[in-house]
Amino acid sequence: MDRKAIVLDYLRKCNAYAEKSISRKQERGESEQTSPWTSYIEFNEHAIEEINNGTLNHWFTPMPTSNLENAKRLEVESIEHAERAGWLSGLLSPRPLVLASTQDEDGNKNLAPYTSVMAVSTRPPLLIASFSCNREGRYRDTLHNLRSTKRAILHLMPSTLDAVKAVDETAAPVPHGESEWNLAGLTASPLDPLLVNEAVAALEVEFIEDRPLPDAVARLAVLRVTGLWTTESDIPANGLDILCQHGHDRLSPAPDAWGEKVLKHYGSKKLP
């Protein structure tokens, strides 16, 4: 659906809602309170007319695409870490947000969000993901759990604000041994204790190995996809309406749609 059609559909739904509101007020004998709704409908009808006759075509002209004709080069090694992370996140985006569900050898469950997961092979079906460590040199519980139990379920989350709030809770630092499930308000499926009911779809993976990255503290893990969790009957050829990271710490379904910052992974220190 093009942008004009989306706006027209929205305005018509607004008018349908307003007409029902007028009817309800008339049924209650409150006809004198319907004039604001009538004006609202007239305004929307005028907008609909101008969209249809081309008067507002300039509203829907795509923004000009920038080029590198007058580009400047930034020396990456001279940029501070936070700024460098911002540049890389902004340029290499959007990326799907994946909520990883794992458990340790004692059955303690963990949830953690990642935007570094990438498909690198379809035969065999392989993914890679990078895992960082904290200032004390301890790697994420997800990596420890993958090493010990060899299994995870990677969830694709719906593009809703409720999902953003749940994801943000799973990113908050918690003491070792506590579970993010208790913070996020998400529920486990009876089909599998690691499966999140609220997800749109999920990939079940087997841990193959992890390797050091050159000159980095993060480690690169190789994961083999062993199962797909979905309610779809057909392949989603156009993708799914899911949360992505677009820019730095901003979760959104698309670059020009709504967006919400997630900052709890910084702990008590929040960046602008």
Sketch the domain layout of the chain as residue ranges: 3-60, 81-231+239-266
Model pLDDT, residue 5: 83
Residue predicted with more confidence, 176 or 24: 24
Classify burial at 85, counting beta carbons within 10 Å of its beta carbon; exposed 0-12, middle 13-18, buried 19 or more.
Answer: middle
**pLDDT-derived band at 249, boundaries 50, 70, 90:** confident
The pLDDT > 70 percentage for the chain reads 92
Nearest in space to 152 (alpha carbons), one of 227, 56, 89: 227
Specify whether the backbone of 92 is left (phi greater than 0), alpha (psi in -120 to 50) or beta: beta
Model pLDDT, residue 64: 60
Residue predicted with more confidence, 134 or 228: 228
Residue predicted with more confidence, 243 or 272: 243
DSSP state, residue 242: B
Question: Cα 134 to chain center, whole Å?
Answer: 24
Average pLDDT, the chain: 87
Mean pLDDT of 103-124: 92
**pLDDT-derived band at 272, boundaries 50, 70, 90:** very low
| pLDDT over threshold 80, residue 217 | yes
Mean pLDDT of 154-168: 92
pLDDT (tens digit, 9 = 90+) per residue, 33-48?
A: 999 999 999 999 999 9
**pLDDT-derived band at 237, boundaries 50, 70, 90:** confident
Mean pLDDT of 235-256: 78
Could you count the other beta carbons within 10 Å of the beta carbon of residue 14?
Answer: 15
| pLDDT over threshold 80, residue 28 | yes
Model pLDDT, residue 92: 73
Tokens of 238: 């156009």
| pLDDT over threshold 90, residue 154 | yes
**pLDDT-derived band at 113, boundaries 50, 70, 90:** very high
Class of domain 81-231+239-266: mainly beta
Q: Which of 79-93, 120-134, 145-159, 222-236 has the highest mean predicted lDDT (pLDDT)?
A: 145-159
Lowest mean pLDDT, pick from 88-92, 216-220, 241-245, 253-257: 253-257
Q: What ranges make up the beta strands (E) of 88-187? A: 95-96, 98-103, 109-114, 118-122, 125-131, 151-156
| Global confidence as pTM | 0.69
Mean pLDDT of 90-108: 88
| pLDDT over threshold 90, residue 207 | yes
**pLDDT-derived band at 1, boundaries 50, 70, 90:** very low
Mean pLDDT of 218-237: 91
Model pLDDT, residue 147: 97
Q: Is 209 within 8 Å of 112 (Cβ atoms)?
A: no
